[in-house]
Amino acid sequence: MHHVPPLAVRFCPPHCSDCRLRQTDAFTSVTPQQLAFIESFRSGVLAVSAGAAVIREYAPNGKLFTLYAGWAFRYKTLSDGRRQILNFVLPGDLVGLQQEFGDSAAHGVEAVTDCALCVFTGDRLWELFRTEPRLGYDITWLSARGESFVDDNLLTTGQRNATERVAMLLMHLYRRLERLGLAEGGSVPFPLNQQHIADALGLSLVHTNKTLRRLAKLGLHDIAHGRLRLPNPHALERLAEYYDQPARCVPLL
């Protein structure tokens, strides 16, 4: 009964012009020249099984990835095993920039579901900025957007209580998936287990469970068969103080 995505979406197409993501209206359009550069910049594709590592913590590999299909997350751990999920990575997201730049200890990236990714080698990044400044600008855009997500999560983890945290996470993910066109019949795919949610919110597994149960009994969410439904999104938004952003095209590398 496990939902197995059709093979077609599990691998990146050989040519970026056939990219399913670009055919949606969630991403900005590019010129043929830019598309050609992106395709030449891409050094390969990668398929990662659910639960496996895309980037190993403390072992940055100097590569950038655009997630094509599936779910993943960025995380950091402490030596005794405590793990913080920094944010969830959905199709179209770019990961690995901090590996290339950042001076802080690196984060890991792990696949939640089977994932398909486009791989870019970091050593050509400077060339990209030099020859295609527009793409460099876009990468900065994506980087700033990534930081915004982490800012939001830090506000959530630092200031909101358990109920508000769960409400925020559900709203945030629902809206992101909706914008990717992944909502169908009032629900979106939801492959996370409660441990993922707990690690993302800085809560214990048990307390996460109790909080989810409480919200479910109030009719604020319904997670079943790997899908999430929000029967009363406005109540959740109020609980979480979630402010919806106007839909907006994002760059895609």
- The site partner of 206 among a second copy, DNA, none (C-beta below 5 to 8 Å per kind) is DNA
Distance CA 171, CA 176 (A): 9
- Classified as helix, coil or strand, 64 is strand
Residue 167 interacts with DNA (CB under 7 A)? no
Q: Give rounded-to-5 percent helix, strand, coil for the chain.
A: 40, 25, 35
Q: Is 203 in the site for DNA (CB under 7 A)?
A: yes
DSSP 170-182: HHHHHHHHHHTT-
Joined together, the tokens standing for residue 70 give 């599936």
Cα 130–Cα 132–Cα 135 angle in degrees, nearest 5: 115
Considering only 19-27, 210-218, 221-229, 241-249, which stretch makes contact with a second copy by CB under 8 A?
A: 241-249
Helix (H, G, I), strand (E, B) or coil at 34: helix
Name which of 99 and 208 has its Cβ closer to DNA. Answer: 208
Stretch 1-30 residues interacting with DNA (CB under 7 A): 1-2
Cα distances (Å, whole numbers) of residue 97 to 36, 121, 155: 21, 11, 23
* Subset of residues 94 to 123 that bind a second copy, contact rule: CB under 8 A: 97-98, 100-105, 107
Give the footprint of a second copy on this chain (CB under 8 A): 74, 76, 78-79, 82-84, 86, 97-98, 100-105, 107, 125-126, 129-130, 133-134, 136-137, 139-141, 143-155, 157-160, 201-202, 241, 243, 245, 248, 250
Give the footprint of DNA on this chain (CB under 7 A): 1-2, 161-163, 193-195, 202-210, 212-213
